[in-house]
Amino acid sequence: NAFSASPAVAYTKPIHFPLWVQASAPQGGPRGCRGLVPQVSVQRLSSCKASTGDPRVKDGVHKAGYILRVHSPTELETYTKQPPTSSKLSILMAKSSHCRPCMKFAATYNLLAERFSDAIVMEVMGDENPTTRKWMMDMKIKVTPSFFLYRDGKLLTTLTGTTRSALRDAILEQLGPSEKGRDWVEPPVSVGSDSDSDSDDE
């Protein structure tokens, strides 16, 4: 199984080169899923505020079946390294406000949060403020979305891209026998969504 072979697993699907990578990119900038990602000034970048308006994204306290927005490594470690939540499976999605694949994947990530309601499902908007940008650089995130799975204070798996089945299978690989989500019956996926039908893997 590719997911158990290594704690760092990458898979393919639309990705985006975030702004903190563009700052150090060669002239012309890196090529993202929709051509060249426009350069953004430091002034505009530092003033970027994240706001999805998604009712299933919550700030503050985690709620089962919802996505928790975190804003710093310290906030993440509150859930991944401190009891009683550190024993739970934690999932972090690193995204950016200009990442179109991240926007497209939001509905699927909401569905995963609902399915795996015993897990702590989180997201960080990497270009939200200077703290989150430094955090993304410290984590060496070069494309968004990127996903990180934790348990008991340890990083278990890292994935990039928006192939739903890959992230789902990685979560199932790490799911405990009594944790919710194994018996989930997935609803049909509409045409044009981020289903496996338009993914790069077979």
| pLDDT computed for residue 57 by the predictor | 65
Mean pLDDT confidence for 6-11: 38
If you ran DSSP here, which 8-state letter would residue 119 be given? Answer: S
For the stretch 52-94, pLDDT in tens is 455 556 666 778 889 999 999 999 999 999 999 999 999 999 9
Higher pLDDT, 76 or 20: 76
| pLDDT computed for residue 188 by the predictor | 64
pLDDT over threshold 70, residue 10 = no
User: What pTM did the predictor assign?
Assistant: 0.70
Nearest C-alpha neighbor of 104 from the set 190, 23, 44, 171: 190
Higher pLDDT, 37 or 145: 145
What does the alpha-carbon distance between residue 155 and residue 41 come to, in Å, rounded to a whole number? 33
| pLDDT computed for residue 53 by the predictor | 52
CA 67 to centroid of chain Cα atoms: 11
| pLDDT computed for residue 104 by the predictor | 93
pLDDT over threshold 60, residue 30 = no
Residue 34 pLDDT class (50, 70, 90 cuts): very low
Nearest C-alpha neighbor of 127 from the set 59, 58, 41: 41
Residue 6 pLDDT class (50, 70, 90 cuts): very low
3-state SS record for 11-62: CCCCCECCHHHHCCCCCCCCEEECEECCCCCHHHHHCCCCCCCCCCEEECCC
Mean pLDDT of the chain: 74
Mean pLDDT confidence for 37-52: 33
If you ran DSSP here, which 8-state letter would residue 131 be given? Answer: H
